[in-house]
C-alpha cells in the first residue's frame, strides 16, 4: 500500500517569492508612500518653478540655454527623498529586529538583498518616469512663452528625460546599499549626503587645473550629466557619467552583499 506523505505547507524559497514578499513590505510602509510622493512633487514642482523663474530672467545667449535641464532641475532635490527611503528600507528592519525574521524566511541572504534592490529599483523607476515626463512637458510649455522651449524629439532630449528617471533609480539603490552596509539609519543617511555633497565641496578646494579633471568623476556630477542636453565643458559624456555613478552604486551594493554574508543580523 502506497503511503501519501502529509502536506506540511512548506514552499521552496525562490527569487520570485522573495520579490513578492518585498513588494508587500514596500507598499505597506507609510514611509514609502510619503517619500515617493515627496519625490514626485519635487521633480514636477521645482521644475515648474524654475522654468517660471527662467522665463522672467531669459539667458543672454539662448544657444547655451539647456531647456531640458531646467525642466529636470527638480530631480536634484528629489534624489534625497529617494535615497533616504532606500536607506530606511534596510535600516528599518535592523532597528526593529525584523531582519532576523526575513533572514530566517530567506536562508540565502543574498536573495534577500537582491530582492529588495530589484523591488525598490523597479518601484522607483515606475514613479520616476511619469514624473520626469510631466515635469518636462509642463516646463517646456512655460518656457515657450519666451521661445526657450525644446521638443522631446530634438537630439539628446529623450535621453535626458529618461536619464533623470534612471539617475533617481540609481540613487535609490545607492541609499539601499548604504543602509545594508551600515545597518544604522543616521549613519546611512549621513553617508548618503556625504557621497552626494562632500566630494563636490572638496574638489572645489583643489587647484583649477586639477579640479576640472576630478570634478567630472565625483558621484553626483557624474550621474547628473545624463540629464543635460548641453553639458558644460567639465562634464563626462551623458551615458559615461551615469555609468560612473552606477559603478559607485554597484561597489556599495557589493560591499553590502559581502558583509551580509559574513556578519550576523
Q: Residues 255, 181: contact at Cβ < 8 Å?
A: yes
DSSP character at residue 233: T
Instruction: Report pLDDT digits (tens) over 35-64.
Output: 999 999 999 999 999 999 999 988 888 888
Q: Residues 153, 59: contact at Cβ < 8 Å?
A: no
Q: Residues 74, 83: contact at Cβ < 8 Å?
A: no
Q: State the average pLDDT for the chain.
A: 89
- Dist. CA 226–CA 249, nearest whole Å: 16
Strand locations in the chain (E) = none
Residue 8 covered by a domain: no
Count of CB atoms situated within 10 Å of the CB of 92: 17
What is the pLDDT, as a whole number, of residue 11?
61
- Dist. CA 193–CA 216, nearest whole Å: 18
pTM for this model (two decimals): 0.91
Residue 55 covered by a domain: yes
SS3 letters across 76-101: HHHHHHHHHHHHHHHHHHHHHCHHHH
Residue 9 covered by a domain: no
The cell for 122 is 523597479
Residue 7 covered by a domain: no
**Secondary structure class of 4 (helix, strand, coil):** coil
Instruction: Report pLDDT digits (tens) over 101-128.
Output: 888 888 788 888 999 999 999 999 999 9
Residue 78 covered by a domain: yes
Residue 63 belongs to domain spanning = 15-262
Domain count, the chain: 1
What is the pLDDT, as a whole number, of residue 5?
47
Residue 242 covered by a domain: yes
Residue 121 covered by a domain: yes
- Dist. CA 133–CA 152, nearest whole Å: 9
The cell for 243 is 555609468
Q: What is the CA radius of gyration of the chain?
A: 21
Amino acid at each position: 500500500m502506497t503511503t501519501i506523505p502529509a502536506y506540511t505547507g512548506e514552499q521552496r524559497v525562490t527569487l520570485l517569492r522573495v520579490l513578492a514578499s518585498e513588494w508587500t513590505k514596500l507598499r505597506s510602509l507609510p514611509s514609502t508612500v510619503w517619500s515617493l510622493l515627496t519625490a514626485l512633487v519635487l521633480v514636477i514642482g521645482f521644475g515648474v518653478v524654475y522654468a517660471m523663474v527662467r522665463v522672467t530672467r531669459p539667458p543672454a545667449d539662448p544657444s547655451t540655454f539647456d531647456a531640458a535641464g531646467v525642466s529636470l532641475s527638480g530631480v536634484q532635490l528629489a534624489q534625497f527623498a529617494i535615497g533616504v527611503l532606500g536607506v530606511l528600507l534596510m535600516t528599518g528592519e535592523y532597528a526593529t529586529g525584523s531582519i532576523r525574521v526575513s533572514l530566517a524566511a530567506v536562508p540565502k541572504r543574498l536573495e534577500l538583498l537582491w530582492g529588495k534592490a530589484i523591488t525598490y529599483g523597479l518601484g522607483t523607476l515606475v514613479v520616476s518616469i511619469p514624473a520626469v515626463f510631466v515635469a518636462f512637458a509642463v516646463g517646456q510649455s512655460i518656457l515657450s512663452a519666451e521661445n526657450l522651449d525644446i521638443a522631446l524629439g530634438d537630439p539628446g532630449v529623450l535621453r535626458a528625460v529618461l536619464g533623470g528617471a534612471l539617475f533617481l533609480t540609481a540613487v535609490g539603490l545607492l541609499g539601499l546599499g548604504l543602509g545594508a552596509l551600515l545597518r544604522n539609519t543616521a549613519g546611512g543617511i549621513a553617508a548618503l549626503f556625504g557621497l552626494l555633497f562632500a566630494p563636490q565641496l572638496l574638489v572645489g578646494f583643489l587647484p583649477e587645473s586639477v579640479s576640472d579633471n576630478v570634478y567630472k568623476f565625483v558621484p553626483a556630477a557624474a550621474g547628473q550629466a545624463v540629464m543635460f542636453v548641453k553639458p558644460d565643458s567639465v562634464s563626462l559624456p551623458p551615458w559615461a557619467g551615469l555609468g560612473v555613478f552606477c559603478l559607485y552604486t554597484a561597489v556599495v551594493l557589493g560591499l553590502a552583499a559581502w558583509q551580509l554574508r559574513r556578519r550576523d543580523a
